[in-house]
Amino acid sequence: QVQLLESGGNSVQAGGSLTLSCAVSGYIDCTYDMSWFREAPGKEREFVSGIVSDRVTNYADSVKGRFTISQDNAKRTVYLQMNSLKPEDTAMYYCKVDRFAPSMSRCRPDNPWGRGTQVTVSS
């Protein structure tokens, strides 16, 4: 089974920092392009950041300059460093597998989405 497991969510005050992690279980020779999304109560799930080939990154405008995505392929883990957090960053954060290689069943996640980790930022 290939599963995603997020961690690192917490409650912090505005201006604080958190680092989220998303580990992908499975075979060591599998690699993944991944993204972070978030979903606030009453709002649609939105893209936060993505990473391709371990180095090409992109960010939503709302988090540019504050969040940094990185990946450790050896650990099959993607990170989201979040600085200068704002109350509007409060949401459930989900990681997602966008692509995997090699294109074999042993690398395919059972569900491309993790279960989420809660981030709450108080003013």
Structure confidence at residue 75 as a pLDDT band (50, 70, 90): confident
Average pLDDT of the chain to the nearest whole number: 95
Cα Rg for the chain, rounded, in angstroms? Answer: 14
Nearest to 4 by CA among 101, 113, 106: 113
The burial class, CB within 10 Å (0-12 / 13-18 / 19+), for 52 is middle
Which residue from 118, 119, 83, 96 is spatially nearest to 50, judged by alpha carbons? 96
- pLDDT at residue 1, as a whole number: 84
Average pLDDT over residues 63-90: 95
pLDDT at 53: 86
